């Protein structure tokens, strides 16, 4: 049984488009609906219950749009809500996002990694449990990407301000013997070129979860037997809890990603 229904991808704002990009690359026949909340972004400094409420409303909206599956393209919303979401929509696959701590711990040579994420994600039970499980003998330096989400929301990731904030967060890590930096927030991959420039020549890999999540989605649509037909012409839609101007900006950002991918 196949299904041409769309896959819903949700984030507090623009960040989940970094996951949307990997889904598009890996599953080119699947239709996608992207919901960027926009009204309540950033989530990172908010209490868990509030984020959980936003995530519930978001998934409800996507379900009303007829999605066959939801990808919570937001680490913060995943840590706050994924269990409640799975409880409420128990017959639909729901994929959450976690910072790529496991692959970083499995491959670090120096036994020292850094995780860049929101304050909420870094203090969540989920993060602490993953770190305890995989980072037993690895030192994990936690860093909040102060201002990073706001930069991406304002399309400022190539600005002097972005360079300043990225240097402020990343430069102190350079002499700590770290060989992996995990981007544990889906907004941060938009700042990857800058982050890579700051760590250049220091033997540090920058890792995010986008591709691994797309692989997991591919595996799940197979397992649930809900892949789109071979001749499906995929549609791309963008919705928001903010206004039409924000929705248009989401669409433009997605189009920019498509154009960049064409040039690759
Ligand atoms: N993109 C989100 C994440 O992956 C959260 C950004 C925010 O709203 O603070 O954590």
Do 64 and 119 belong together in one domain?
no
In this prediction, residue 264 carries a pLDDT of: 78
16: domain range?
A: 7-96+210-263
Q: Does 182 fall in a domain?
A: yes
Q: Does 1 fall in a domain?
A: no
In this prediction, residue 1 carries a pLDDT of: 64
DSSP 40: S
> Do 69 and 8 form a contact (C-beta atoms < 8 A)?
yes
Runs of H (alpha helix) within the chain: 17-26, 48-64, 75-88, 101-107, 119-122, 125-134, 148-153, 160-170, 192-199, 210-223, 244-263
Do 229 and 194 belong together in one domain?
no
Q: Per-residue pLDDT for the chain (264 aa), expressed as one digit of tens each?
A: 679 999 999 999 999 999 999 999 999 999 999 999 999 999 998 999 999 999 999 999 999 999 999 999 999 999 999 999 999 999 999 999 999 999 999 999 999 999 999 999 999 999 999 988 888 899 999 999 999 999 999 999 999 999 999 999 999 999 999 999 999 999 999 999 999 999 999 999 999 999 999 999 999 999 999 999 999 999 999 999 999 999 999 999 999 999 999 887
Do 157 and 242 belong together in one domain?
no
Do 188 and 226 belong together in one domain?
no
pTM: 0.96
In this prediction, residue 56 carries a pLDDT of: 98
Q: Which atom of ligand 1 is nearest to the CA of 121?
A: 10
> Do 199 and 177 form a contact (C-beta atoms < 8 A)?
no
Residue indicated by tokens 């002097």: 160
Distances (CA, A) of 216 to 4, 9, 221, 252: 19, 14, 9, 27
Do 68 and 106 belong together in one domain?
no
Do 56 and 109 belong together in one domain?
no
Do 175 and 253 belong together in one domain?
no
23 lines ligand 1 (CB under 6 A): no
> Using CB atoms within 10 A of its CB, is residue 217 exposed (0-12), middle (13-18) or buried (19+)?
buried
Q: What is the CATH number of the domain that holds 243?
A: 3.40.50.1860
Do 217 and 199 belong together in one domain?
no
- With the most atoms of ligand 1 within 8 angstroms of its CB, the residue from 42, 79, 124, 146 to mutate is 42
In this prediction, residue 70 carries a pLDDT of: 98
Do 110 and 201 belong together in one domain?
yes
Q: Does 134 fall in a domain?
A: yes
Sheet strand arrangement including 180-183: 139-144, 112-117, 180-183, 205-207
Total tally of structural domains belonging to the chain: 2
Last residue of a domain, one of 207, 236, 255: 207
76 lines ligand 1 (CB under 6 A): yes
**Cα–ligand 1 centroid distance for 23 (angstroms):** 18
Q: Does 2 fall in a domain?
A: no
Do 224 and 203 belong together in one domain?
no
Do 120 and 148 belong together in one domain?
yes
Q: Does 68 fall in a domain?
A: yes
Do 92 and 168 belong together in one domain?
no
Q: Which atom of ligand 1 is nearest to the CA of 187?
A: 1
Last residue of a domain, one of 189, 207, 225: 207
122 lines ligand 1 (CB under 6 A): no
105 classed as catalytic: no
């Amino acid at each position: 049984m196949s299904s041409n229904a769309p896959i819903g991808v949700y984030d507090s704002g623009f960040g989940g488009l970094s996951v949307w990009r990997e889904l598009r690359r890996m599953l080119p026949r699947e239709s996608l609906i992207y919901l960027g909340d926009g009204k309540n972004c950033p989530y990172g400094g908010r209490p868990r219950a509030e984020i959980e409420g936003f995530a519930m409303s978001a998934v409800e909206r996507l379900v009303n749009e007829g999605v066959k599956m939801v990808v919570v393209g937001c680490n913060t919303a995943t840590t706050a809500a994924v269990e409640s979401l799975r409880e409420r929509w128990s017959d639909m696959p729901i994929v959450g996002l976690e910072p790529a701590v496991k692959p970083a711990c499995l491959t670090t040579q120096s036994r020292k990694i850094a995780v860049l994420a929101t304050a909420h994600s870094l203090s969540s039970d989920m993060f602490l449990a993953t770190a305890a499980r995989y980072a037993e003998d690895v030192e994990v330096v936690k860093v909040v990407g102060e201002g990073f989400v706001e930069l991406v929301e304002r399309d400022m990731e190539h600005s002097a301000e972005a360079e300043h904030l990225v240097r402020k967060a990343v430069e102190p890590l350079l002499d700590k013997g770290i060989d992996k930096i995990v981007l544990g927030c889906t907004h941060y991959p938009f700042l990857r070129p800058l982050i890579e420039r700051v760590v250049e020549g220091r033997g540090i890999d920058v890792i995010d979860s986008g591709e691994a999540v797309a692989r997991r989605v591919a595996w799940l649509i197979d397992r649930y037997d809900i892949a789109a037909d071979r001749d499906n012409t995929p549609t791309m839609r963008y919705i928001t809890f903010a206004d039409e101007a924000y929705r248009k900006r989401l669409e433009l950002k997605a189009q920019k990603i498509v154009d960049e991918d064409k040039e690759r």
